[in-house]
Structure 1
Amino acid sequence: MQTTVKCSNDSPVSTRLIQHGALVPFALVTSLFFLWGMPNNLNDVLIRHFMKSFEISRFQAGLVQSAFYMGYFLLATPAALLMRRYGYKLGIICGLLLFGTGCFLFWPAAQIGRYSFFLGALFVIASGLSFLETAANPFIAQLGDASSAARRLNLAQSFNPLGAISGALIGTLFIFSGVELTGDQIRAMQRAGTYAHYLQTETLRVVTPYLVIGAAAILLAILVAWARFPPVSVQSHEGTLGMPGHGAYRELLRYPHFLLAILTQFMYVGAQVGTWSYFIQYVQDSVHAPERVAGYFLTGTLAGFGIGRFASSFLMRWIRADKLMGIYAIVNMALVAIGVLHPGWAGLWAIFLSSFFMSVMFPTIFALGLNDLGENTKIAASLLVMAIVGGAVLTPAMGLLARYGIQIAYLVPIAGYLAVMAYAFWGCHVKPRGRG
């Protein structure tokens, strides 16, 4: 059994989606996609909320994503090395325990009232998610026939936006207070000595949602420890079977399609994270909506993302994954360009719709990048997870560009979709070196 779907000119083939006897582990691992969607998109709420509660700039608030995605970057390789020795199951358990611990750290961070402590807690959360993504994506890709890997991974990833929607909605309802003070009100509260208490109260609003999510992560770790995971074997390009967990990083240099996938994933994640991180601010600046209304718009665009995931998984029965992704990338460049050139209701709805078309990109880049890597699959997956650091780099870059207008910042996602288009139509087809 190979590890991933072939990126070829052949039409998609109808095959069994999940191997026999693997339904329970598939369901448990798929639930991880839902679970890590919540903190990913709670960050979009935190950026706006911390700007208010800590009185910081857009660039400083963008460091939320930097701390978060640096956790992905730094822990992906240790996660791969652990799983290469002990398997996917232990990697998932370790990831869930780290994730839960980071959520629980929000309580002491709020009591101390230091922004840097929250950044540290977010780093721990992301470290756990790095383990989960390094394990879950290749595990799902290998849990059935190679020709259906991209469709299987898109199906599992379809539950991620449901978690994202839940995260944005939880943040909007339970973190946003709806209180937005004017300059005169702030000065009046400062004179009365009540402003510091107001800021502390705003900061404490983040604690309860994270404690609940942390408890859910610990419960899921117990369920995974109890469940029986099937062994997963892969096929190298020489055609010999073996357990995944061997291979060497230097061998990956022979696969240009994989190296280009890393760059493409870096650009795509930066586009996705940046789009959502500043969407609340875009809504407020372009149509002057209050923060809670902007939060509901964010929830709506994430719902579009979820619909796109399920629709794309369905369409891949007839349309090749790479071709569909390329078409979606072209559409998104046009939509975001409207958002840049026409800030207001037209631009808002254009960027709103872009989430539907970005939905297919992450899992498809992941699956196509792992194509035909055989025994190198786990270590390759860790590098693709490390590419998520694009969210840490490009989001603050958008914050700097936002000084010239929030719509100008959205030039960055356009560059990301250009990279995705190039990979879909060219990069994933590049032949491995040393092969015919």
Structure 2
Amino acid sequence: MAALPPVSAQATLADDSASATTPRYASALSAVTTLFFLWGFITCLNDILIPYLKAIFQLNYAQANLINLCFFGAYFLMSIPAGKLVARLGYKRGMLLGFGVAAVGAFLFYPAAAQRVYGLFLGALFVLASGITLLQVAANPYVAILGPARSASARLTLTQAFNSLGTTLAPLLGSALILSRLPKLATVTSAAAIDVRAVQVPYLVIGGALLLISLMLSQVNLPQIELATEQVANVEAGSVRAWHYRHLVLGVVAIFTYVGAEVAIGSHLVNYFALPDVMRLDPETAGRQVSYYWGGAMVGRFLGAYLLNKFPPAKLLAFNAVMAAALVLISINTTGELAMWSLLAVGLMNSIMWPVIFPLALAGLGRHTEEGSGLLCTAVVGGALVPLLFGTIADHSGLRLALLLPVVCYGYILWYGLRGSRRAAVA
């Protein structure tokens, strides 16, 4: 396959006439899409790790939730450094480095399990999440730039659909390979009673897969995206930074609220469905219902890849935010199956939020695109902080009242779609 010529990031984000060149990037887009599937799979395995490690180390819920805090905390700590690395190394080499770091983290699960030390698990998870963060920072803007601006949201939505495929499959495979190896909790008397191979082997396979895909990616002639320089003539070097763009800063808040709302709802579905006035389901049955939440996001992203070519992304974002808030309010004020299915349907509405907010926030950043991508990925820490606030409200006032917090989050996303995403002159 012949090498493709460089493309200007600024020109591609701003010039819709580039649509004629889109077919040239099909193979590159296919290669990058595999990344989205894999990190979706890895991220959703956290939901399997929590009960597994809780059983091994006899943890309470606060201690077990250090897994989510550690994983999403890596986004907060590493996204900005990752953005600088990508700006220096380029998109392809940034992704290759991300694969390598993530593979090291996956392999570290083997000694952590062998030693049965919770801190080692958290350390391995942080390394793994740091690699995924680097992949996110490199791949998201790369997909947005890889073609005409008007279809950026559609491209990112399509690749995110494969991310959702990973999140849908991970709980099924993780339950079969890991949780099925747990003895009944009543028989667990010490960490030695747990078969650690249940977590060692899957993460060795994940590490191997990361290295294999990295090797395959290194052989693909990805188009070289040149950093745009047209803004350099207008401002002195260093006088304008990514955070000077209002629509980007507001987009960071939008990513924070979106991820926070999605994780807060998803993390508490099992407990919510167990409520006497909802469905009174046992944990295993309720857990199977959760697959509809993440599966809805997958279906919505495949559908969104089509709809975003027909409707303005910002308006579609606003519509989905309204529908998500309405569905949560319906669930809060109803009982039985209506309360359950209305909340599960929120996953469908969540589907396009990340892939629409991301390119809206990066639009017009030019040479600051990589730094802006790092800032946006930092906002994923919402997945650690919003659920903590959600849990605090639930402890004091119940799950129904706590669900008002995601409604507030969706209200902000609605405003961002209608007003906050509009580009303004740099101060």
Moved more, 410-419 or 318-327: 410-419
Cα distance in 2 between the residues matched to 1:364 and 1:235: 22
Q: Is the 8 A contact 2:151 2:308 kept in 1?
A: no
Tell me whether 1:35 sits opposite 2:38 in the alignment.
Answer: yes
Q: Is the 8 A contact 1:59 1:400 kept in 2?
A: no
Tell me whether 1:219 sits opposite 2:212 in the alignment.
Answer: yes
Moved more, 151-160 or 318-327: 151-160
Q: Is the 8 A contact 1:44 1:278 kept in 2?
A: no
Moved more, 319-328 or 42-51: 42-51
Matches within 5 A, 1:267-416: 267-285=257-275, 286-342=278-334, 344-404=336-396, 405-416=398-409
Instruction: Assess, with a 3 A threshold, how the Cα gap between structure 1 residues 280 and 121 changes in structure 2: closer, same or farther.
Output: farther
Cα distance in 2 between the residues matched to 1:225 and 1:297: 39
Cα distance in 2 between the residues matched to 1:274 and 1:84: 33
Of residues 190, 213, 227, the one that matches 1:196 is: 190
Q: CA deviation at 1:109?
A: 1.9
Instruction: Assess, with a 3 A threshold, how the Cα gap between structure 1 residues 90 and 293 changes in structure 2: closer, same or farther.
Output: same
Residue type at the aligned position of 1:209: P
Matches within 5 A, 1:31-430: 31-177=34-180, 186=186, 189=187, 195-196=189-190, 200-201=194-195, 204-233=197-226, 235=228, 238=231, 248=238, 250-285=240-275, 286-342=278-334, 344-404=336-396, 405-430=398-423
Instruction: Assess, with a 3 A threshold, how the Cα gap between structure 1 residues 20 and 334 changes in structure 2: closer, same or farther.
Output: closer
Residues 257-284 of structure 1: per-residue CA shift (max 9 Å, x gap): 1110011111111111222222233334
Q: CA deviation at 1:37?
A: 0.3
List alignment gaps of at least 5 residues for structure 1.
7-12, 241-245
Cα distance in 2 between the residues matched to 1:137 and 1:32: 10
Q: Is the 8 A contact 1:5 1:150 kept in 2?
A: no
Instruction: Assess, with a 3 A threshold, how the Cα gap between structure 1 residues 58 and 409 changes in structure 2: closer, same or farther.
Output: farther
List alignment gaps of at least 5 residues for structure 2.
1-7
Q: What residue is the counterpart of 2:3 in the other structure?
A: none
Cα distance in 2 between the residues matched to 1:62 and 1:417: 24
Residue type at the aligned position of 1:170: L
Cα distance in 1 between the residues matched to 2:273 and 2:203: 26
Residue type at the aligned position of 1:365: I
Cα distance in 2 between the residues matched to 1:273 and 1:249: 37
Residues 278-306 of structure 1: per-residue CA shift (max 9 Å, x gap): 22333344534344333322222211110
Cα distance in 1 between the residues matched to 2:111 and 2:65: 22
Cα distance in 2 between the residues matched to 1:155 and 1:41: 19
Moved more, 116-125 or 249-258: 249-258
Q: CA deviation at 1:249?
A: 8.4
Residue type at the aligned position of 2:107: F
Cα distance in 2 between the residues matched to 1:143 and 1:247: 26
Q: CA deviation at 1:47?
A: 2.9
Give the structure-2-normalised TM-score: 0.88
Cα distance in 2 between the residues matched to 1:128 and 1:138: 16
Q: What is the SS of the residue equivalent to 2:345?
A: helix
Q: CA deviation at 1:43?
A: 1.5
Q: Is the 8 A contact 1:261 1:423 kept in 2?
A: yes
Give the structure-1-normalised TM-score: 0.86
Alignment: residue pair count? 415
Residue type at the aligned position of 1:232: I
Q: CA deviation at 1:113?
A: 2.1
Tell me the percent identity. Answer: 33
Cα distance in 2 between the residues matched to 1:432 and 1:76: 26
Q: What is the SS of the residue equivalent to 1:89?
A: helix
Q: CA deviation at 1:27?
A: 1.1
Cα distance in 1 between the residues matched to 2:153 and 2:239: 23
Tell me whether 1:22 sits opposite 2:25 in the alignment.
Answer: yes
Q: What residue is the counterpart of 1:10 in the other structure?
A: none
